[in-house]
Amino acid sequence: MANAFQEGLRQLDKTCEIIQREKKITIKTEEIEILKKPKRVVEASFPVTMDNGKLKIFTGYRVQYNDVRGPFKGGIRFHPKVDLDEVKALAFWMTIKCAVVNIPYGGGKGGITVDTKKLSQREIERLTRAYVRVMANIIGPDRDIPAPDVYTNSQVMAWFMDEYSQIKGVNTPAVVTGKPIEIGGSQGRDTATAQGGFYVFDNLRKKLRIKKNQIEIAIQGFGNAGLNFAKIAADHDFKIIAISDSQGGIYNKKGIDIKKAIKYKKENGQLRGFKLAEEISNEELLELPVNVLVPAALENVITEKNVKNIKAKIIVELANGPTSIKAGEELFEKGVYVIPDVLANAGGVVVSYFEWVQNIRHFYWDAKKVQNNLSYIMNKSFKEVWETSQKYKTNMRTGAYITAIERLINAVRIRGRA
Ligand code: NAD
C-alpha cells in the first residue's frame, strides 16, 4: 500500500486547515506534530518451527500510534503485503476511528508479513505465539489491546490470549478482543463491523430518502466484514447483485441468494463456480451500475485509474483505506456519498470496547444489550459526522476527521503534552 500513511497525513493537514479557518482557532504546530508521528514502532524478527521441523524467520510489526485518549487499540493483520508503511497507516486510522466514535482508546495496529494460505493451522498457531512472545512487554489490557484483522480470526485471538496469559502467569482475557465467546469474547463481536456499517448505511439511505426496493448492492470481499454485511443486508430485504473474494466475483442482476452463496463459499473456499450467477472480476465489480458499493477487502481499490467508471451513489467503506484521497475528492464532486472507513467499519472496535469492558468487569452482556449499545453509538456518530460535513460543506470523510481531530487536540491540550 504505497504511501498510504502519507495520504493519511495529507488528510490530517487538510482537516486542521479547515478547523482553523472555519472555527477561527489556532492549532499549534506541535499539537499537529503529535498526531503526525507514531509514539512507538516495533519491528521484530522471530523464528517459527515449521511442520517439516525447519526454522523459518518471520517479520512482525506493532505500531503504537497515539494513546492520548486511552490505551492503544487495533488489529493484527497476517498478509504477504504487510509492511511498516501499511501498519503505520492503519494505526493512524485507528487513532482517528476511536475518536470518531468517541470510545476511550488511542490507536495502534500490528501485522506479520506472511501468506497464511501456505501454512497449516499448527504453523499459524506457533507463528501467533511467537509474535506474542516478542510483543508481550509492550501490550496489555491497560497499554495496547490487539484484535483481529485481515486473515486473523477468533481462533488466532484465543492463541494470543493464551500465550500472553501463560507469559504473565495470570488469565488475562482483556489483552485482546475478538476472542471466542467461550473464553471471554463478546456476543455480537463477529458481526459487529458489518452491523455497524449497516447501521450507518441505513442512516444515510434514509437521509437521502432512497427506498429499500430501489437499492442494488455490490460487495467486494467476502470475509468477516463483507460476508456479514451481505447477510445482514439480505436479512433486511436488500438486493445484493454482486459479491467477490480474492479469487474473483459473481454477479446476478436479479439478486444473489446470499445464504446459498455463503454455503457454497464454505464448501468450496471460493465464490467462483457458484452456479446461480455469472463470473466477473474484482475490477468489474467496482464499476457495476449499482447504487451502493461496499469495498470490504483491501486498500486502494478506488483510485484515479478507475474513479471515472464508478457508478455507485453510495460507497460504504467497510475495508480500511479503499479510496485514495484524490479519488474521494472526485467522487464528492460527482455527488457520490462515501461513508468513510473511520466511521463505516468502526462497529468492530466499538464491540471490541464492549468486550474489553466485560472482561475487566467479569460481567457479561446478552446479545440485545450489545446491539442496543452498538446502534446507539453508530447512530450518534453518524449524526455527528453528517452534521459536521453539512456545516462545513465538505465530504463525510473530512466531517469525520474534523470530529476526531478536535477530540484528539482537546485531549492533547487538557493533558498538557504540547
Ligand atoms: P477477512 O480476512 O475476513 O476477509 C477478507 C476478504 O477479502 C476475503 O473474502 C478475501 O478473499 C478477500 N480478498 C482478499 N484479497 C482480495 C482482493 N485482492 N480482491 C478482492 N477480495 C480480496 O478480513 P476482514 O476482517 O473481513 O477485513 C476486510 C477489510 O475490513 C480490511 O480492510 C480490514 O482492515 C477491514 N476491517 C475489518 C474489521 C473486522 O472486524 N474484521 C474491522 C474494521 C475493518
For CA atoms 64, 66, 69, 74, the dihedral sign is: negative
Which pLDDT value is given to residue 25?
A: 81
Give the residue, out of 193, 266, 316, with the most ligand 1 atoms within 8 A of its beta carbon, to mutate for a pocket test. Answer: 193
pLDDT digits (tens, 9 = 90+) for 40-86: 999 999 999 999 999 999 999 999 999 999 999 999 999 999 999 99
pLDDT at 392 over 80: yes
∠ CA 114-167-47 to the nearest 5 degrees? 30
Measured CA to CA, the distance from residue 361 to residue 73 in angstroms comes to 19
Residue nearest to atom 14 of ligand 1 (CA): 246
Measured in Å, how far apart are the chain's first and last C-alpha atoms?
31
The answer to whether the beta carbons of residues 407 and 385 sit under 8 Å apart is no
The answer to whether the beta carbons of residues 88 and 3 sit under 8 Å apart is no
Distance 134 CA to ligand 1 centre (A): 26
The answer to whether the beta carbons of residues 385 and 317 sit under 8 Å apart is no
Q: pLDDT-based confidence at 299, cuts 50/70/90?
A: confident
Residue nearest to atom 31 of ligand 1 (CA): 319
Distance 272 CA to ligand 1 centre (A): 17
Measured CA to CA, the distance from residue 73 to residue 95 in angstroms comes to 8
Q: Is 358 in the pocket of ligand 1 (CB under 6 A)?
A: no
Measured CA to CA, the distance from residue 290 to residue 253 in angstroms comes to 10
Supply φ then ψ for residue 179, to 5 degrees. -80, 165
Which pLDDT value is given to residue 109?
A: 98
- Of how many residues is the chain composed? 418
Residue nearest to atom 30 of ligand 1 (CA): 319
Atom of ligand 1 nearest to the CA of 149: 25
What Rg, from alpha-carbon coordinates, does the chain have? 21
> Can you give the pTM of this predicted structure?
0.94
Any idea what DSSP says for residue 186?
P
Q: What CA–CA distances, in Å, run from 165 to 147, 154, 172, 201?
A: 16, 16, 5, 39
Instruction: Indicate the average pLDDT of the chain.
Output: 95
Q: Which long-range contacts (CB under 8 A, 24 or more apart) does 378-381 make?
A: 378/101, 378/196, 378/199, 378/200, 378/203, 378/346, 378/347, 378/350, 379/199, 379/203, 381/100, 381/101, 381/102, 381/200, 381/343, 381/346
Distance 207 CA to ligand 1 centre (A): 28
Atom of ligand 1 nearest to the CA of 249: 20
Which pLDDT value is given to residue 417?
A: 56
Q: Is 409 in the pocket of ligand 1 (CB under 6 A)?
A: no
Which pLDDT value is given to residue 385?
A: 98
Of all residues in the chain, the percent with pLDDT exceeding 70 is 99
Domain coordinates in residue numbering, the chain: 39-183, 192-344
Distance 209 CA to ligand 1 centre (A): 30
Q: Is 224 in the pocket of ligand 1 (CB under 6 A)?
A: yes
Supply φ then ψ for residue 172, to 5 degrees. -130, 75
Sequence-ordered alpha helix ranges (H) in 136-223: 154-168, 192-207
Of residues 364 and 21, more confidence is placed in 364
Q: pLDDT-based confidence at 418, cuts 50/70/90?
A: very low
Annotated catalytic residue 168: no
pLDDT at 156 over 60: yes
Q: Is 244 in the pocket of ligand 1 (CB under 6 A)?
A: yes
Q: Which of 73, 88, 97, 109 is catalytic?
A: 109
Cell of 65: 500510534
Q: Is 243 in the pocket of ligand 1 (CB under 6 A)?
A: no
pLDDT digits (tens, 9 = 90+) for 172-206: 999 999 999 999 999 999 999 999 999 999 999 99
Q: What is the mean pLDDT of residues 282-302?
A: 95
Identify the residue whose cell numbers are 447483485: 241
Class of domain 39-183: alpha beta
Q: Is 67 in the pocket of ligand 1 (CB under 6 A)?
A: no
Q: What CA–CA distances, in Å, run from 50 to 155, 228, 240?
A: 19, 33, 41
- The CATH number of domain 192-344 is 3.40.50.720: yes
Q: What is the mean pLDDT of residues 249-258?
A: 97
Q: What is the mean pLDDT of residues 12-39?
A: 90
Contacts of 103 (CB under 8 A, 6+ apart): 70, 349, 350, 353, 377
pLDDT digits (tens, 9 = 90+) for 106-134: 999 999 999 999 999 999 999 999 999 99
CA nearest neighbour of 351 among 136, 111, 179, 110? 179
Of all residues in the chain, the percent with pLDDT exceeding 90 is 90
pLDDT at 105 over 70: yes
pLDDT at 24 over 80: no
Q: Is 149 in the pocket of ligand 1 (CB under 6 A)?
A: yes
